[in-house]
Amino acid sequence: MVELPSTETAAQVAVAVLALIVAWDAYWLTRQRLDVPELGNLQGGGFAWASEGVHEVVRQWGNLGSMAAMMVLPWGLLSASNTPMVYAVIWDVLLGLHLISLLVPKRYAITRTHLFADGQRYAWERLRLAKRQPKRRIMLLRKGWGVFGPLPLGGDPEALQTAKAYIAALEHVRSGTGENSAEE
């Protein structure tokens, strides 16, 4: 019979994995100013904009609810699993940091070849515009990601309208002439 690891070992692994996720996200968030140094119309075509905290709340509302549930859940299981309380506290601190990172204003950019969002670069060939668009954000889908594919973009209504126009123009060019080979 296989012996399961202790609850303390399981808690240590869970906290370590969450710490890696938080560090990974923090690294990518620090890159957004490097990847999108200026806002507005870009030289060579394209558009860059920034969101504010309220736009990120609209963009991330589902993730915020999930984070709240994940912060509460361990507390109900501590006594049943005999897990030391310190792991639940560390878990909540890490999730709190992750929650803050979700609300930090972001920088976005659209170029002929890529979308820049959340400190990462996405090739347009790997993205498509969702058929049903929410009112206060742009919803893109990452091809091949299934249910994990939504990539919402936040920003003020004017910036989102401009971004939608750029995306529509890019889709028109790509569908009309094939792959766009222009440089960024």
Closest by alpha carbon to 46, among 112, 90, 139? 112
Domain that holds residue 97: 7-177
Q: Give me 111's structure tokens.
A: 């170029």
pLDDT at res. 177: 54
Tens-place pLDDT, residues 54-69: 898 888 888 888 999 9
The secondary structure element, H or E, covering residue 13 is helix 7-35
Total domains in the chain come to: 1
Is 183 among the domain residues? no
Is 118 among the domain residues? yes
Is 1 among the domain residues? no
Tens-place pLDDT, residues 104-159: 899 999 999 999 998 889 999 999 888 888 888 999 999 998 888 889 999 999 99
pTM for the model stands at 0.78
Is 57 among the domain residues? yes
Tens-place pLDDT, residues 2-22: 888 888 999 999 999 999 999
Is 101 among the domain residues? yes
pLDDT at res. 40: 94
